[in-house]
A and B are shown apart, each in its own frame.
Chain A
């Protein structure tokens, strides 16, 4: 009963380093999303994938890239990490129809020093 699994849970990067956050869901959902959550702010959408093979920018895409590897997996890449990217990152998935709920992973806490 895994749902949405994110790895890693914690990560510390130096400015300029790159890394990829992994996300996998086992609910056969069509749509997947990446959000960031900063203290005192609501979740903000970085990128989403409405279905396998498609990706679209969200509200705050700059500095990030994504790959929808297959229906299960959706990764988020930071090519050159900056301190402003210190945040908690959440992956989510949903069936894709507008009135269905989204299921979230447990988050990745990323610190860029």
Chain B
């Protein structure tokens, strides 16, 4: 069964500090991995999309890494800000079909709280 596991479940850091969120998956065959940010009461917003051949992708202070051999991804947030407080969701899509969601598996998310 395809699964996506995220850790930690929740994390509290001080403003200005860095942090790293983890995503391990068993989805196969692999097509792509996406990280989303979901603010409280809002819909998820895409941060990065990574395919098999991509090891690192950045979006401002967010840097995602992918190791397709070990089936692990991480999301590193640099110089955190209060606005980074949100849930971060890892989504892994299996090969097949021509939509994003027909074979996508969502992680439960990591809740990040940035304190002043």
Q: Which residues of A are interface residues toward B (Cβ below 8 A)? A: 4, 31, 33, 40-45, 48, 50, 56, 58, 90, 92, 94, 96-107
Contact = CB atoms under 8 A, between A and B. Distances in A.
Contacts of B98: 50, 96-98
Interface residues of B, number: 26
Contact of A90 (B43, B49, B97): B43
Interface of B: 4, 31-32, 34, 41-46, 49, 51, 89, 93, 97-102, 104-109
A98 B4 contact: no
Contacts of B44: 43, 90, 104
B41 to A, nearest CB: 7
Contacts of A98: 31-32, 93, 97-100
B32 A99 contact: yes
B101 A48 contact: yes
Contacts of A41: 108
Contacts of B107: 42
A99 B51 contact: yes
B108 A40 contact: yes
B67 to A, nearest CB: 19
Given A99-B32, A99-B51, A105 B97 contact: no
B13 to A, nearest CB: 21
B97 to A, nearest CB: 7
A98 B46 CA distance: 14
B43 A44 contact: no
Given A42-B107, A44-B106, A104-B45, 6 more contacts: A33-B99, A50-B98, A98-B97, A98-B100, A99-B31, A100-B49
